[in-house]
Structure 1
Amino acid sequence: MNKLALSAAVAALALSPVLSQVAHADDASTTPTYGSNVNPNWQDNFFVDGNLGQTQARAGELTHNNSVFQNVRFGWRWNGIVGAEIGYAYLGRPKADIGNGFGSFSAKPQAATIGLNAKYNFYQAWYVTAHAGYMRSRTELALTAGDFDSRYKTWNNGLYAGLGVGYDVTKNVSLALNYDNYRVQAGNETSPYYVGVGHIRTNVAAYSASVEYRF
């Protein structure tokens, strides 16, 4: 089982108690038991979330453990618990040396994402999060050897999933630590003519800290 499937499975397990409670959360006369973020007013359940961390990529010789990871998401949650999101992720720049330093090959994937997300307070202000969905990635492939430099961009489809744990600092602000996995595809049938690499697939793991603001 690859990392993405494992992340999605764990995300599904994390969402199961959340979904079982959603039916009760929209009853404003019931005292909330899910945490300080629950708000029956749907207009107050929009959020923006920013992540900063590092990625780990594994794609043959493209191995890199400390590329920069950046992610911005905007979404909405029904009763502050489960809803939809859209976002943008920068997944670092894994690089491989060619010919003992004679040249290099690198990939710079970025992705627009759309999916589902959930936030569940399990003890007072402490909470867990889960999200998963579809992404459309754009990857710039670059080959450099001596005076030769060639760059080629491809657009591909993929999936993502992630988990997090955090704390509600205030009613509107939360801090969290997160793990995400992106199933990235890059290249196509014409890319070998430009950078010598065809269609490739890899998992990119991202470890990050995040700040969420609800409004």
Structure 2
Amino acid sequence: MESSMNKLALSAAMAALALSPVLSQAAHADGTASTATYGSNINPNWQDNFFVAGQLGQSQYRVDSDTLNHDHGVFQNVRFGWRWNGLIGPEIGYVYLGQPKWSDGYSQLSVKPRAATVGVNGKYNFYQSWFVTAHAGYMRSQTKFDAIGAFGSDRYKTWNSGLYAGVGVGYDVTNNFSLALNYDNYRLQSGNGTSFDTIGVPHERANVAAYSASVEYRF
């Protein structure tokens, strides 16, 4: 658990570090001279700074009990947001974190977590069209359990809260379209006080690392 918290803390720290020049530039944004330092993504019209981004990649699970550790899950994420002066602003999203499975030859368990997210994001062009991104926030996850044993099968669903953070680096292909590579970390919880009695799965905490490629379109 300490290792998982350290990974999330490291991701959050990296996100904060990546956002620091964004915040600094945003605090001193005042006219054409400042705008030129931001990069090709800047548009002073606030209505033109909305974006949609999609990520696709691989998730890796680290669970406290080691039961559902899984290194090859499918990671999918879509986010919608806005940035003040193209630099920093709010975001909402929906993420699918893969489907880890466990079996001992007699019983099987598969878990399918997904989550709605809300947080803050930033994008900073550090050299011409090259940029770094960062985001962090709160997630509300839904986890579906499918358990199969000698006495039949059971399904169970729980809702839990968690946190996420991530960083990325990419390139503005045009003023409206970008490509990037990203690392995200999700602090996921699953199960609850009654899940152990129902399907034999207690309340668990998992650290989910996600490596992905992304596309972003700015309106």
Structure 1 window deviating more from structure 2 (168-177 vs 19-28): it is 19-28
2:99 to 93, 103, 106: 93
> For residues 25-174 of structure 1, what are the structure 2 equivalents within 5 Å?
25-28=29-32, 30-59=34-63, 60-98=66-104, 101-146=105-150, 148-174=152-178
State how far apart, in whole Å, the 1-side matches of 2:106 and 2:144 are: 21
Aligned identity (percent) is 70
Moved over 2 A (4+): 23-31
CA distance in 1, matches of 2:74, 2:21: 33
Greater Cα shift, 18-27 or 68-77 = 18-27
Compute the displacement of 1:29 (Å).
6.0
Contact 2:35 2:42 in 1 (8 A): no
Alpha-carbon distance, 1:24 to partner:
2.8
AA aligned to 1:14 is A
**Structure 1 residue identity aligned to 2:144:** E
* Bigger Cα displacement from structure 2, 104-113 vs 130-139: 104-113
Map Cα deviations across residues 154-195 of structure 1 (whole Å, 9 max, x no partner).
Answer: 000000000000000001000000000000000001101221
SS in 2 for 1:62: coil
Q: Within 5 Å, which residues of 2 pair with 1:171-190?
A: 171-190=175-194
Deviation at 1:28, TM superposition (A): 4.2
| Counterpart secondary structure, 2:41 | coil
Cα 1:26–1:38 change in 2 (3 A) is: farther
Q: CA RMSD in A?
A: 1.2
2:178 aligned partner, one-letter code: S
Deviation of 1:40 after TM superposition, in Å, equals 1.0
Secondary structure at the residue paired with 1:197? coil
In structure 2, how many angstroms separate the alpha carbons of the residues matched to 1:131 and 1:45? Answer: 16
Q: Deviations over 1:35-59 (max 9, x none)?
A: 1001111010000000111100011
- CA distance in 1 between partners of 2:131 and 2:177 (Å): 13
For structure 1, which segment, 148-157 or 24-33, has the greater mean C-alpha deviation from structure 2 after superposition? 24-33
Cα offset for 1:150? 0.8
Q: For residues 202 and 35 of structure 2, what CA distance do their matches in structure 1 show?
A: 57
Answer whether contact 1:25 1:32 (CA < 8 A) is retained: no
Question: In the alignment, what sits opposite 2:215?
Answer: 211
Change (3 A) 1:210 1:94: same
SS of 2:40's equivalent?
Answer: coil
After TM superposition, the score normalised by the length of structure 1 is: 0.95
CA drift of 1:23 comes to 2.4
Hey, what's the Cα distance between the residues in 1 that align with 2:127 and 2:70? 37
The number of residues matched between the two structures is: 213
